[in-house]
Chains A and B, each alone.
Chain A
Amino acid sequence: MDIVVCVKHVPDTTEAEIAIRDDGRGIKKEGLVFDINEADNYAIEEALLLKEEFDGAITVLTVGPPEADETLRMCLAKGADQAVRLTDERFEGSDGYATARILAEAIKDMDYDLVLTGVQADDDGSAQVGVTLAEVLGIPHAALVVSTETEEDEDRMTVHRELEGGLHEVLEIELPALLTIQTGINEPRYASIFGIRKAMKKQIEVLNLDDLELAEEAVGEAGSRTSLVKLFIPVVTAQATILEGSPEEVSGELVTIFKNEGVI
């Protein structure tokens, strides 16, 4: 089963001090630690588990700057076979739609049975790339996948989609298809430093806009259907009420507050 996995190199915001760029349309990246997008890490692991069961090759792609090689190497170290980085200044400002079109151009001529992406990115949280990519590629998709089961002849999969309140929607999907993978679907393995060093031997293919059959107007801000107007840190106000009394008194008060606020 040949699998394509799309990953993103994002900032890890653990206790990080986020500063807004001077132009108000992005964050300052200095001092931030970057890592693979969390949901994409689960996607790669799912691909690796499928490869262990059904053989085949895993190709991992990203649209990102040269630093994204760090994430690609980690995927190669874990067992991906090939890596492709799509880098071009003209990709700057691409929204989910434009990014999906860039990825689709790189993927459309590949031989694949399955495309995996994470549900959403930790930085912009749009959750658009995976689903849009499926549409542009013309393949069926299922989003928010929390479990997969592959049929013996490997032409269909049964997937569980995560809905609200712990409900699952169970779908049968014909391959080739795209799944957006939700966190928690598996337990990602570890890529050791020695493993990453060994993976340095594997080549990362780098492509730019000229290598793709895509017009300049189809990418970047020009190719986007949404545009980021402003990014700001919300003003912190103090609005806390401390309830005092015995546990019985306090819980009674809480229930009243919840009722009044329409929570219950």
Chain B
Amino acid sequence: MLRTRKFVEQYDLLGCIQCGRCTGGCPLSLSSPLNIRRIIYEFLVRDKLDIKQMPEIWDCTTCSTCTLRCPKGLDPAMILVGMRRVLTEGGRIKPTVRDALESTFKFGNPWGRGKNKRSDWAQGLNVKNLAEGGFPPKACPEQGRRVGGDRGGAQAEILYFVGCTPSYDDRVQAVARAMVKVFEKAEVDFGILGNEEICCGSEMRRLGEEGLFEFLVEDSLEIFKQHGVKRMVTTSPHCYNTFKNEYEGLDFEVQHYTQFLADLIERGKLVFSEEVNKVVTYHDPCYLGKQNQIYDEPRAILQSIPGLKFVEFDRSRERSLCCEGGGGRMWVEASSGGERLAETRVKDALALGAEVIATACPFCMLTLEDAVKTTGAEGSIEVLDIVELVAQAIST
């Protein structure tokens, strides 16, 4: 039983005017019992809430459409995360979530994969390793941090922060390799942290494991300092968002790769020599678009690729239909059946006449690719990351 008073104070819920713009914009409102307006109402009128009886709070993808639309400046998505914190800190979570959290604590990634395999994707690519020769520190709960370890050390202007999913997932590793190809072509001075890189913690925070998030922040800040990181470019909008907006004490520039590449193209540092003759639409990832207002750079890149015909979704930019990959949803099945949002998106793309759905987020890539298969559209449409299209347009 959760006492509501503290929540109401903490999240300023008395400001809510019950207008319903939040639920009205929630992409899950048609398929899930999740009703954030109603939840806030319950917090306001009841003394106690049995949140264990509300499995729908795990359906939220934290796309933050609700937060964007709230006329009173409230953050409904974070209220749901606050509810998840109570459950997670009490240990009452689904086994899939438990496994992802435990894996992140032990191995620095939620995928149950070994630390020593994190940079296997780069085998044969000769990428500069900023942590070369080092070995990782060990977790020490007594001190509340990892201790020991030895950081090695090459130097580079830019840290390419790969991320857990591009590092370990078979499909998304191709995105990381395409990034390396493009960076090399543009003669970017970059390096990776190799097996020293650990999870940014964005999804852990959104799953309610604030303690683990803090742990990861401390560790990563330490690692970045040790290797003199001055600038970072990320594959994932989730990593980008959390490093840029949620890591207190991080004092260098963080960019999502679309910002970085768009700038390179504008300054003439990246030149295309091949044509990509495809009809391409772009799916705005929630964490890049809605949450950080990065809409133009991805489009600028796509529209500068020779031969590429760009078509726009009706639901584009801040109205982009969430793929259901964020907010911990990679580890939580929806509480109700019915068509997944990614499937709707694929159908919309086919109706547009697109041959490619371009995106710039590993989670979007995986959920959309799955949806291409489950809607039987394999062979009619493919999902590619923007950097993969860029890599196709440059000669090796």
Contact = CB atoms under 8 A, between A and B. Distances in A.
Interface string A4-39: 000000001011110000000000001101010000
A190 B101 contact: yes
Given A12-B106, A14-B113, A31 B89 contact: no
Interface stretch (B205-213, B252-260, B348-356, B377-385): B205-213
Contacts of B210: 194
A93 to B, nearest CB: 24
Given A31-B135, A69-B142, A70-B139, A193 B116 contact: no
Contacts of A73: 141
Given A35-B106, A73-B141, A200-B142, A193 B211 contact: yes
Contact of B214 (A188, A190, A193): A193
A14 B135 contact: no
Contacts of B240: none
Contacts of B97: 190
B41 interface: no
A101 to B, nearest CB: 30
A52 B209 CA distance: 24
B29 to A, nearest CB: 29
B170 to A, nearest CB: 15
Nearest to B120: A15
A256 interface: no
B306 interface: no
A33 B115 contact: yes
B24 interface: no
Contact of A33 (B90, B93, B106): B106
B89 A195 contact: yes
B141 A200 contact: yes
B112 interface: yes
Contact of B89 (A14, A30, A70, A192): A192
8 contacts: A14-B114, A69-B142, A192-B90, A193-B209, A193-B211, A193-B215, A196-B211, A200-B141
Interface of B: 88-93, 95, 97-98, 101-102, 105-107, 112-117, 135-136, 139, 141-142, 144, 209-212, 214-215
Given A69-B142, A192-B211, 4 more contacts: A14-B107, A15-B116, A16-B114, A70-B139
Interface of A: 12, 14-17, 30-31, 33, 35, 69-70, 73, 78, 187-197, 200
